Structure 1
Amino acid sequence: MSPTVTAASLVPAALHRLRDETLDPQQLAAYNLYLTAGPAGLRLGVADVKRNKFVALEEYAAPEADTTLAQQLAALATDHDLLGRTGWNRVRLAVHNRAFTLLPAPLFRPGDETAYLGLHHALDTRHESVHAYTHGGPDIVSLFATDRSLSTWFKQTYPAGRLVHRTSALLQGVLQQSENNGPARVYLSIGPRQLTILVMRGKQLQLCNVFPYSTPEDLIYYVILVMQELQLNPDQDPVMVWGDLTHDSELFSILRKYVRNLRFGNRPFDLGYSYRLNDLFEYRYFELFALHLCE
């Protein structure tokens, strides 16, 4: 740790700390813990297993100090009454980065993860580790890299936990809301400087990719490019959006200008949500909630 970086400066700033009164920190076996980590910071969700209901949501902004996600998680866990504790029914952590690829499950051979990912990402084996997650429904394997310090912290803290890529949570959530023989649909998940585009035809995955952007013009360029490549019509074909934007934001304004059939997405179906979350926009935190659908 740099001498100029104090322990206090590693702790992410709390943006939301919403908890249902029924949450009992002394009965962790009754709950699932879900975490997402990426450029937007850290997000934490707790779901009551028996009631199939989210009873807590917390969001933390990344500190200004130059820190890793592992440092942020470790610093937050120091004085947190939930994070870092053991005894949960299930723990999932979704990482948000561009270092991933998807592969049809019949083509996947265990042990070749690094070779597959190397076709799409220049892996730094000193600082990164490679992981795999198998989607049962679409018969797809997700291969992705994470910062080695993050995967080490997670494995040491939650030996039975599972790492997944953020796109896997998005895909599982979209599959839940897709019709078997439905038309082609475009799904957008917008985060800080990263846009995830998912295209489905019914329950068949057509495309999944993460694009970097710095301006609203960059964002709409990728959306229109993908739609044109897949012969979709921005004036007619439906586009659903989740993420970190508002109805009056510049990002939404430019999307609405070029995409006519645009609407905000809903939370994952068949799950309960505490009234404490009622003031949050329905289209936010989709991947965090959708982790509940990842086995």
Structure 2
Amino acid sequence: MAHEALSDKIETPELWNLLLRISRDALHVVIYSIVEDNSLVYRRFNLDTASSSWIGALQNVIYDNPAILSDFRRVYCVVETDKYLIVPSECESESDRCLLFGTAFPGSGLEMAVDDTATHNAIALTAIEPELRGFINRTFQRVSIVSHIASLCRYATLNGSHGNKVRMIANLHERSVDVIVIDGRRLMLANTFAYDKPDDAAYYLLAVRQRLGLDAHNDELFLAGDQACREEIMPMLRNFVARVMPIIFPPQMFKAGKEAMLVPFDLITLPLCE
């Protein structure tokens, strides 16, 4: 996607949503109207961390694109991170959550965010940099921040097949895959696996299915994310799993504009999970 600047402030921003996805190397930005079809604009900006800190690079991109600073109806912010902990939803006390968080990320200086997964049995405790959280909350009104894994959990739970059918969703990136396994509204697994070769990703998905007892003939495996990665890994998986298929792109967001197809899956689906 071209890095063309978003220079013009949005007119009637109260009718528009802003979606942000923040990773270590890029900021993905989506702006779309809730009342006008084919209005969606998508940009991916690389973060120049060679000349400034990560937060500084993020700030530079946002301030260099004034449209991002419009007073939007809603702002959805997905943070990509491998620092999260999936815990039972029965863990309700702040002290218990802090104990688990401190054990997982000792001395990190990171703050704990509690992310809803929309499942009946699990929440995500996400570690977030205080600087990042402070900057987002100061800069944007009506903003919600969520980890990428919780966003994917929400979509898998709320927009999957009905009933108690077990299904696996794999969101593929160039060097990692996010994996969600859902049984009805019960979360069986949520994890991010880093890989060097597509074969490793395929092996991991198959190993997860075997460990959790998924049926090779009946339990579906949906692939989302990077198209090239999907095309490479799908034939491997179909040798062992009968029902492997691309995830269905949400038609509500396709109506917003064709560029929606280019947006990271865990970002474009987040507004559908309210």
TM-score range, shorter chain: 0.7 to 0.9
| Aligned equivalent of 1:290 | 269
> Offset of 1:260 from its aligned partner?
3.9
Is residue 184 of structure 1 aligned with residue 184 of structure 2?
no
One-letter identity of the residue aligned with 2:125: L
> Offset of 1:257 from its aligned partner?
4.5
Structure 2 residues without counterparts, runs of 5 or longer: none
> Offset of 1:275 from its aligned partner?
3.8
| Aligned equivalent of 1:142 | 124
The 5 A counterparts of 1:266-277 are 266-268=248-250, 270-271=252-253, 273-277=255-259
Separation in 2 of the partners of 1:42 and 1:251? 26
Identity of aligned residues (%): 19
Separation in 2 of the partners of 1:293 and 1:119? 34
The 5 A counterparts of 1:50-199 are 50=35, 55-63=40-48, 65=50, 68-83=53-68, 85-110=69-94, 112-122=96-106, 124-125=108-109, 128-135=110-117, 138=120, 140-158=122-140, 160-199=142-181
| Aligned equivalent of 1:4 | none
- Contact 1:37 / 1:93 at 8 angstroms: preserved in 2? yes
- Contact 2:181 / 2:187 at 8 angstroms: preserved in 1? yes
One-letter identity of the residue aligned with 1:49: I
2:186 to 186, 200, 204: 204
- Contact 2:152 / 2:266 at 8 angstroms: preserved in 1? yes
Separation in 2 of the partners of 1:221 and 1:68? 36
| Aligned equivalent of 1:246 | 228
TM-score (structure 2 length as normaliser): 0.83
Residue by residue over 1:29-58, the C-alpha shift from the partner in whole angstroms, topping out at 9 and shown as x without a partner, is 211211111256221122323469862222
| Aligned equivalent of 1:3 | none
- Contact 1:240 / 1:262 at 8 angstroms: preserved in 2? yes
Is residue 35 of structure 1 aligned with residue 20 of structure 2?
yes
TM-score (structure 1 length as normaliser): 0.78
Aligned residues: 273
Separation in 2 of the partners of 1:182 and 1:272? 28
Larger helix proportion of the pair: 2
